[in-house]
Structure 1
Amino acid sequence: MAERRVKVESEVGLHARPAALFVGAAAKAGGDVTVAKGDGSPVSAKSILAVMSLDVRHGDEIVINAESEELLDELAAIANAG
């Protein structure tokens, strides 16, 4: 499983629409996809409630774990979209 640390550049963090896009991209992937805020406990990136519960804001660091680098690229791009 690949891991990537991403500093969230989106002005709204992973709230509402960006979180829905993030979860939608993760849900398309086979296998486990997790996200954690900083060094916190990872949650399923396929669950909108779990992702929203992290309360990820602009400037926070998240750690994404997924099966492929391509998926990590896509999820990082969503976290950094303006």
Structure 2
Amino acid sequence: MATRTATIASSIGLHSRPAAIFVEAVEDSGLEVEIGRVGEPTVDAGSILGVMALGARNGEVVELTAEGPDAEAVLDRLVELLNSDLDAE
């Protein structure tokens, strides 16, 4: 299982547009990805409702996990997204 941490850079956190961009990237990966605050329960990163319900705010650290082919590369791309201000794009 591959694991990465990321800091939420979007000013409104993982809400609305940033969450939709992130979830679309997860779905495009074809892998099952989980996201959550470090040490807390995770949610399905491919679920817009799950990601928004997580309530991750700007500056918070989240942990991503995935299994499968190219999981390391997929998580690297997802971390790049979360470390970017998705509100500005």
Query: Partners in 2 of 1:22 and 1:60 — Cα distance?
Result: 16
Using the TM superposition, give the Cα deviation of residue 38 of structure 1 relative to its aligned residue in structure 2, in angstroms.
Answer: 2.6
**What TM-score results when the alignment is normalised by the length of structure 1?**
0.89
Secondary structure of 1:53's match?
helix
Name 2:79's counterpart in structure 1.
76
The aligned residue for residue 37 of structure 2 is 37
Q: What TM-score comes out, normalization by structure 2 length?
A: 0.82
The AA in structure 2 aligned to 1:62 is: V
SS across alignment from 1:28:
helix
Task: Provide, for residues 54-75 of structure 1, a one-character-per-residue CA deviation record: whole Å limited to 9, x for no partner.
Answer: 0010111100012312211221
Structure 1 segments (4+ residues) deviating >4 Å: none
Counterpart of 2:23, as a letter, is: V
Identity value in percent: 40
Secondary structure, counterpart of 2:14 in structure 1: coil
Matching residue of 1:53: 53
Aligned pair count reads: 82
1:33-59: per-residue Cα shift (whole Å, max 9, x none)? 100123211110000000000001011
